């Protein structure tokens, strides 16, 4: 498949919904795209709002374009380099974390329902007894 090398991705539109980005703890050697190291604390990463909003826009472009094209576009728009492999890893990690969180929420809901059913069955079963009084002569 031949691609037109002169074609460029469109400039991102201004996001109206906006995001509330929060600092994160540094866990690896490299600083991820969209963050910078804090001057006060070396283990804290401060968000760069413009880069993170461009990254969110780039994730939408991945559905139509290759990782190389999107990474090149993101690098030119943000003036900070990100490789296509780095972009791929970042997107896949976010998808894995989102899927894991969704699975955990689903399992928590199912366990809660199962617990409610078990408690209901225990109270309605035949032969169920409950101690009414606790006098010393009954023991």
State mean pLDDT over 96-105: 92
Band of pLDDT at residue 136, cut at 50, 70 and 90: low
Which pLDDT does position 23 carry in this prediction?
87
Which pLDDT does position 81 carry in this prediction?
95
Q: What is the pLDDT of residues 23-75, one digit of tens each?
A: 888 888 888 899 999 999 999 999 999 999 999 999 999 999 999 999 999 99
State mean pLDDT over 113-121: 90
Q: What percent of the chain has pLDDT over 70?
A: 77
Which pLDDT does position 129 carry in this prediction?
64
Which pLDDT does position 1 carry in this prediction?
43
Is the separation of the CB atoms in 58 and 73 below 8 Å?
Answer: yes
CA distance 22 to 92: 21
Name the burial class of residue 112, with classes exposed (0-12), middle (13-18) and buried (19+) by CB atoms within 10 angstroms of its CB.
Answer: exposed
Helices 84-124 and 49-61 sit at what angle, rounded to 10 degrees? 80
First to last CA, the chain: 86
pLDDT surpasses 60 at 138: no
């Amino acid at each position: 498949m031949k691609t037109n090398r002169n074609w460029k991705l469109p400039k991102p539109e201004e996001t109206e919904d906006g995001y509330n980005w929060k600092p994160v703890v540094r866990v690896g050697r490299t600083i991820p795209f969209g963050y910078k190291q804090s001057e006060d604390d070396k283990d804290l990463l401060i968000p760069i709002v413009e880069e993170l909003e461009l990254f969110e826009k780039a994730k939408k472009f991945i559905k139509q374009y290759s990782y190389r094209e999107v990474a090149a576009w993101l690098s030119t728009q943000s003036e900070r380099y990100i490789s296509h492999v780095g972009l791929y890893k970042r997107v896949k990690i976010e998808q894995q974390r989102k899927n894991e969180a969704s699975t955990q929420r689903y399992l928590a809901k199912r366990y809660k329902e199962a617990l409610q059913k078990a408690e209901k069955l225990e109270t309605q079963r035949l032969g169920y007894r409950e101690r009414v009084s606790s006098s010393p002569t009954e023991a």
